[in-house]
Structure 1
Amino acid sequence: MILSIILLIVALLSAVAIVREIKRKNFFAVGFAGLSFVVFGWFSIATIISIITTGGGAPVAH
């Protein structure tokens, strides 16, 4: 669960970077921030869905 939260925070920071760099008209940085937003956002959502559907967490050794 911590991994998905960290990935989601990175995705949100990338979204902020997109807006900031559009204002500066730095489209090369917009491209990298957009790609980061898509990748980190996808993995955070996929991780959250995986945790919800499979019960989540690491297996416990008995």
Structure 2
Amino acid sequence: MVLAVLFLVVTILCAIAVFRELKTKNFFAVGFAGISTLVFGFFSIATLLSPLF
């Protein structure tokens, strides 16, 4: 469960980075932060749901 919380924290930080880099119009960083948000978000949700099912 601790791993899921850590993944969730990383997901939130990546989402903040997406909006920050959109503001500075750095689209290469937006791409990497967006992909990181999707990947870590998927793993955090999957890790949270795995004990339930």
Q: TM above 0.5, one fold?
A: yes
> What amino acid sits opposite 1:16 in the alignment?
I
Q: Describe the superposition over 1:11-62 as per-residue Cα deviations: whole angstroms up to 9, x where unpaired.
A: 0000000000000000000000000000000000001000222xxxxxxxxx
Q: Which runs of 4+ in 1 moved over 4 A?
A: none
Partner of 1:3: 3
- Normalised TM-score (structure 2): 0.97
Mark the runs of 5 or more structure 2 residues left unpaired by the alignment: none
**Which of structures 1 and 2 has the bigger CA Rg?**
1
Q: CA RMSD in A?
A: 0.5
Mark the runs of 5 or more structure 1 residues left unpaired by the alignment: 54-62
Partner of 1:51: 51
